[in-house]
């Protein structure tokens, strides 16, 4: 690695450390709105128990999502977006 690139990398790491410690503000921030899990479930007409089965999670996890104690992550969040966009097609794809 050449000297210039190495210097830029070191500066970048230092800047990241300053942002992490709160000494500097990030140039930009991304904020994602958590899905309204209860509204999505209600679109399907399914009970909590049946929707939890569809989502592949426990009923307790679904309740935590609906009450805002937890936020779905990764594949669960993606599946919720799919169900929200087209509940009928999503349920058909999941259960045939």
User: Which stretches of the chain are assigned E, i.e. beta strand?
Assistant: none
d(CA 29, CA 91): 34
Tally Cβ neighbours within 10 Å of residue 56: 11
Residue 60: strand, helix, or coil: helix
Classify residue 65 by burial, with Cβ atoms within 10 Å: 0-12, 13-18, 19+: buried
0.85 exceeded by pTM:
no
- pLDDT tens per residue, the chain (96 residues)? 689 999 999 999 999 999 999 999 988 888 888 899 999 999 999 999 999 999 999 999 999 999 999 999 999 999 999 999 999 999 999 887
């Amino acid at each position: 690695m050449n000297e210039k690139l190495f210097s830029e990398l070191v500066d970048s790491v230092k800047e990241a450390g300053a942002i992490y410690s709160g000494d500097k503000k990030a140039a930009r921030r991304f904020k994602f709105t958590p899905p309204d899990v209860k509204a999505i479930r209600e679109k399907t007409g399914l009970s909590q128990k049946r929707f939890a089965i569809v989502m592949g999670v426990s009923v307790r996890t679904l309740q935590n999502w609906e009450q805002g104690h937890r936020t779905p992550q990764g594949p669960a969040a993606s599946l919720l977006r799919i169900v929200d966009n087209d509940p009928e097609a999503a349920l058909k794809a999941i259960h045939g």
